[in-house]
Chains A and B, each alone.
Chain A
Amino acid sequence: ETGVTQTPRHLVMGMTNKKSLKCEQHLGHNAMYWYKQSAKKPLELMFVYNFKEQTENNSVPSRFSPECPNSSHLFLHLHTLQPEDSALYLCASSRTVDEQFFGPGTRLTVL
Protein backbone atom coordinates (compact mmCIF):
# COMPACT_ATOMS: atom_id res chain seq x y z
CA GLU A 1 0.00 0.00 0.00
CA THR A 2 1.33 3.42 -0.95
CA GLY A 3 -1.00 5.47 1.23
CA VAL A 4 -3.00 6.72 -1.76
CA THR A 5 -6.46 5.27 -2.19
CA GLN A 6 -8.78 5.49 -5.15
CA THR A 7 -12.47 4.71 -5.50
CA PRO A 8 -14.09 3.11 -7.28
CA ARG A 9 -11.59 0.56 -8.52
CA HIS A 10 -13.73 -0.28 -11.52
CA LEU A 11 -16.35 1.83 -13.27
CA VAL A 12 -18.53 1.18 -16.29
CA MET A 13 -20.52 4.10 -17.61
CA GLY A 14 -22.52 5.12 -20.60
CA MET A 15 -21.65 8.14 -22.69
CA THR A 16 -24.48 10.18 -21.18
CA ASN A 17 -23.69 9.36 -17.56
CA LYS A 18 -22.05 11.61 -14.99
CA LYS A 19 -19.68 9.98 -12.53
CA SER A 20 -16.81 10.98 -10.28
CA LEU A 21 -13.52 9.37 -9.37
CA LYS A 22 -12.12 9.96 -5.91
CA CYS A 23 -8.56 10.00 -4.66
CA GLU A 24 -7.42 10.37 -1.07
CA GLN A 25 -4.02 10.62 0.57
CA HIS A 26 -3.04 11.14 4.17
CA LEU A 27 0.68 11.31 3.61
CA GLY A 28 0.87 15.04 4.20
CA HIS A 29 1.70 15.68 0.56
CA ASN A 30 0.93 19.03 -1.00
CA ALA A 31 0.74 17.98 -4.64
CA MET A 32 -1.78 15.67 -6.27
CA TYR A 33 -1.96 14.43 -9.84
CA TRP A 34 -4.32 12.72 -12.27
CA TYR A 35 -2.85 10.48 -14.97
CA LYS A 36 -4.48 8.54 -17.78
CA GLN A 37 -3.02 5.23 -18.89
CA SER A 38 -4.40 3.80 -22.12
CA ALA A 39 -3.39 0.56 -23.70
CA LYS A 40 -0.16 0.81 -25.67
CA LYS A 41 0.33 4.51 -24.83
CA PRO A 42 2.65 6.14 -22.31
CA LEU A 43 1.27 7.36 -19.04
CA GLU A 44 -0.24 10.81 -19.70
CA LEU A 45 -0.34 13.54 -17.08
CA MET A 46 -3.76 15.21 -17.00
CA PHE A 47 -3.81 17.63 -14.07
CA VAL A 48 -1.59 18.79 -11.24
CA TYR A 49 -2.77 20.45 -8.05
CA ASN A 50 -0.39 22.11 -5.64
CA PHE A 51 -1.79 23.26 -2.27
CA LYS A 52 -5.30 22.91 -3.76
CA GLU A 53 -4.49 25.14 -6.74
CA GLN A 54 -4.42 23.72 -10.25
CA THR A 55 -0.94 24.26 -11.65
CA GLU A 56 -1.08 22.06 -14.72
CA ASN A 57 -3.78 21.20 -17.23
CA ASN A 58 -2.29 19.11 -19.98
CA SER A 59 -4.82 20.13 -22.66
CA VAL A 60 -7.45 17.82 -21.21
CA PRO A 61 -10.95 17.95 -22.79
CA SER A 62 -13.56 19.74 -20.70
CA ARG A 63 -15.56 16.54 -20.25
CA PHE A 64 -12.98 15.83 -17.53
CA SER A 65 -13.38 18.25 -14.63
CA PRO A 66 -11.01 18.02 -11.66
CA GLU A 67 -11.72 19.26 -8.16
CA CYS A 68 -9.36 19.56 -5.23
CA PRO A 69 -11.22 20.69 -2.10
CA ASN A 70 -8.18 20.20 0.14
CA SER A 71 -4.67 18.83 -0.04
CA SER A 72 -5.84 15.33 0.89
CA HIS A 73 -8.62 14.83 -1.63
CA LEU A 74 -8.81 14.98 -5.38
CA PHE A 75 -11.77 14.27 -7.60
CA LEU A 76 -12.20 13.78 -11.32
CA HIS A 77 -15.73 14.49 -12.50
CA LEU A 78 -16.69 12.78 -15.72
CA HIS A 79 -19.53 13.66 -18.08
CA THR A 80 -20.43 12.83 -21.67
CA LEU A 81 -17.34 10.70 -22.10
CA GLN A 82 -16.40 8.86 -25.26
CA PRO A 83 -15.43 5.17 -25.66
CA GLU A 84 -11.82 6.26 -26.31
CA ASP A 85 -11.75 7.65 -22.77
CA SER A 86 -11.75 4.10 -21.48
CA ALA A 87 -8.49 3.69 -19.60
CA LEU A 88 -6.85 3.26 -16.21
CA TYR A 89 -6.99 6.56 -14.32
CA LEU A 90 -4.25 6.92 -11.78
CA CYS A 91 -3.99 9.39 -8.96
CA ALA A 92 -0.68 10.27 -7.37
CA SER A 93 0.57 12.55 -4.64
CA SER A 94 3.96 13.87 -3.69
CA ARG A 95 5.80 16.21 -1.40
CA THR A 96 8.28 16.93 -4.13
CA VAL A 97 8.14 15.98 -7.78
CA ASP A 98 11.07 13.64 -7.19
CA GLU A 99 8.98 10.79 -5.85
CA GLN A 100 5.31 10.33 -6.55
CA PHE A 101 3.10 7.88 -4.70
CA PHE A 102 0.43 6.29 -6.86
CA GLY A 103 -2.95 4.90 -6.03
CA PRO A 104 -4.12 1.57 -7.47
CA GLY A 105 -6.13 3.28 -10.19
CA THR A 106 -9.71 3.22 -11.45
CA ARG A 107 -10.35 1.05 -14.48
CA LEU A 108 -12.89 3.02 -16.49
CA THR A 109 -14.92 1.55 -19.32
CA VAL A 110 -17.13 3.86 -21.39
CA LEU A 111 -19.82 2.09 -23.38
Chain B
Amino acid sequence: SQQGEEDPQALSIQEGENATMNCSYKTSINNLQWYRQNSGRGLVHLILIRSNEREKHSGRLRVTLDTSKKSSSLLITASRAADTASYFCARIQGAQKLVFGQGTRLTINP
Protein backbone atom coordinates (compact mmCIF):
# COMPACT_ATOMS: atom_id res chain seq x y z
CA SER B 1 0.00 0.00 0.00
CA GLN B 2 1.23 3.50 -0.74
CA GLN B 3 -0.70 4.84 2.21
CA GLY B 4 0.81 5.43 5.59
CA GLU B 5 0.34 2.87 8.28
CA GLU B 6 -0.52 4.00 11.76
CA ASP B 7 0.30 1.95 14.79
CA PRO B 8 -1.45 1.05 16.99
CA GLN B 9 -4.89 0.93 15.35
CA ALA B 10 -6.46 1.60 18.73
CA LEU B 11 -5.08 2.96 21.99
CA SER B 12 -6.83 3.35 25.33
CA ILE B 13 -5.14 5.17 28.21
CA GLN B 14 -6.00 6.93 31.44
CA GLU B 15 -6.43 10.67 31.58
CA GLY B 16 -3.14 12.35 32.40
CA GLU B 17 -1.01 9.70 30.72
CA ASN B 18 0.95 10.28 27.55
CA ALA B 19 -0.20 8.81 24.24
CA THR B 20 2.17 7.86 21.45
CA MET B 21 1.08 7.03 17.93
CA ASN B 22 3.34 5.96 15.10
CA CYS B 23 3.17 6.32 11.35
CA SER B 24 5.23 4.57 8.71
CA TYR B 25 5.38 5.31 5.02
CA LYS B 26 7.07 3.86 1.97
CA THR B 27 8.07 6.69 -0.37
CA SER B 28 10.17 9.80 0.12
CA ILE B 29 8.39 12.84 1.47
CA ASN B 30 8.72 16.62 1.61
CA ASN B 31 6.67 16.77 4.75
CA LEU B 32 4.35 14.72 6.94
CA GLN B 33 1.16 16.01 8.46
CA TRP B 34 -0.97 14.88 11.37
CA TYR B 35 -4.72 15.38 11.59
CA ARG B 36 -7.31 14.69 14.27
CA GLN B 37 -10.89 13.57 13.67
CA ASN B 38 -13.55 13.56 16.32
CA SER B 39 -16.17 10.87 15.85
CA GLY B 40 -18.13 11.37 12.63
CA ARG B 41 -16.71 14.85 12.05
CA GLY B 42 -14.24 16.47 9.71
CA LEU B 43 -10.50 16.37 10.15
CA VAL B 44 -8.53 19.10 11.84
CA HIS B 45 -4.92 19.81 10.91
CA LEU B 46 -2.65 19.49 13.94
CA ILE B 47 0.93 19.84 12.83
CA LEU B 48 3.24 19.58 9.84
CA ILE B 49 6.83 18.45 10.01
CA ARG B 50 9.17 18.97 7.08
CA SER B 51 11.64 16.38 5.87
CA ASN B 52 14.59 18.43 7.15
CA GLU B 53 13.12 18.61 10.65
CA ARG B 54 13.52 15.93 13.28
CA GLU B 55 11.17 17.19 15.94
CA LYS B 56 8.42 19.75 16.27
CA HIS B 57 6.25 20.89 19.16
CA SER B 58 2.83 22.46 19.37
CA GLY B 59 1.37 22.82 22.85
CA ARG B 60 1.01 19.31 24.26
CA LEU B 61 1.85 17.75 20.90
CA ARG B 62 5.29 16.55 19.93
CA VAL B 63 6.00 15.11 16.50
CA THR B 64 9.19 13.38 15.47
CA LEU B 65 10.32 12.35 12.02
CA ASP B 66 12.95 9.79 11.08
CA THR B 67 13.35 9.87 7.31
CA SER B 68 15.92 7.06 7.37
CA LYS B 69 13.32 4.76 8.91
CA LYS B 70 10.43 6.39 7.04
CA SER B 71 8.52 6.84 10.24
CA SER B 72 6.97 9.54 12.39
CA SER B 73 5.47 9.60 15.82
CA LEU B 74 2.92 11.83 17.50
CA LEU B 75 3.11 12.21 21.26
CA ILE B 76 0.29 13.79 23.24
CA THR B 77 1.38 14.64 26.75
CA ALA B 78 -0.87 14.90 29.81
CA SER B 79 -3.85 13.55 27.90
CA ARG B 80 -7.36 14.86 28.47
CA ALA B 81 -10.78 13.38 27.78
CA ALA B 82 -11.14 15.88 24.93
CA ASP B 83 -8.18 14.24 23.17
CA THR B 84 -10.38 11.21 22.45
CA ALA B 85 -10.43 11.04 18.65
CA SER B 86 -8.86 9.34 15.67
CA TYR B 87 -5.45 10.56 14.59
CA PHE B 88 -4.16 10.30 11.02
CA CYS B 89 -0.84 10.92 9.41
CA ALA B 90 -0.85 12.17 5.84
CA ARG B 91 1.71 12.77 3.14
CA ILE B 92 1.61 14.46 -0.22
CA GLN B 93 1.56 12.32 -3.35
CA GLY B 94 2.09 14.17 -6.59
CA ALA B 95 1.10 17.83 -6.82
CA GLN B 96 -2.06 17.97 -4.76
CA LYS B 97 -3.01 14.56 -3.50
CA LEU B 98 -2.90 14.08 0.25
CA VAL B 99 -2.73 10.40 1.20
CA PHE B 100 -3.94 9.42 4.64
CA GLY B 101 -3.14 6.42 6.77
CA GLN B 102 -5.70 4.18 8.44
CA GLY B 103 -5.57 6.17 11.65
CA THR B 104 -5.17 5.44 15.34
CA ARG B 105 -8.31 5.53 17.44
CA LEU B 106 -7.38 7.07 20.80
CA THR B 107 -9.62 6.77 23.85
CA ILE B 108 -8.84 8.70 27.01
CA ASN B 109 -10.51 7.18 30.06
CA PRO B 110 -11.42 9.50 32.95
Q: Main secondary structure on chain B at its contact with chain A? A: strand
B43 at the interface (CB under 8 A from A): yes
A31 at the interface (CB under 8 A from B): yes
In the complex, the answer to whether B45 meets A99 with C-beta atoms within 8 Å is: yes
B residues less than 8 Å from A7 (CB atoms): none
The 0/1 profile, CB within 8 Å of A marked 1, for residues 75-110 of chain B is 000000000000010001001111111110000000
In the complex, the answer to whether A31 meets B42 with C-beta atoms within 8 Å is: no
How many angstroms between the C-alpha atoms of A98 and B40 in the bound complex?
A: 23
The 0/1 profile, CB within 8 Å of A marked 1, for residues 47-65 of chain B is 0100000000000000000
Q: A-contacting residues of B (Cβ < 8 Å)?
A: 3, 31, 33, 35, 40-45, 48, 88, 92, 95-103
In the complex, the answer to whether B95 meets A97 with C-beta atoms within 8 Å is: yes
In the complex, the answer to whether B97 meets A48 with C-beta atoms within 8 Å is: yes
In the complex, the answer to whether B41 meets A104 with C-beta atoms within 8 Å is: yes
Which residue of B3, B31, B43, B48 contacts A42 across the interface (Cβ within 8 Å)? B3
How many angstroms between the C-alpha atoms of A48 and B98 in the bound complex?
A: 10
Given contacts A90-B43, A98-B48, is CB(A42)–CB(B103) below 8 Å?
yes
Interface size class of A (residues with CB under 8 A): 20 to 34
Given contacts A101-B45, A103-B42, is CB(A45)–CB(B98) below 8 Å?
yes
Interface positions, chain A 61-105, Cβ under 8 Å from B, are 88, 90, 92, 97-105
Given contacts A42-B3, A42-B102, A98-B48, is CB(A2)–CB(B97) below 8 Å?
no
In the complex, the answer to whether A105 meets B41 with C-beta atoms within 8 Å is: yes
A29 at the interface (CB under 8 A from B): no
The 0/1 profile, CB within 8 Å of B marked 1, for residues 25-61 of chain A is 0000001010000000111010010100001101000
How many angstroms between the C-alpha atoms of A101 and B88 in the bound complex?
A: 14
How many angstroms between the C-alpha atoms of A56 and B97 in the bound complex?
A: 8
How many angstroms between the C-alpha atoms of A88 and B38 in the bound complex?
A: 13
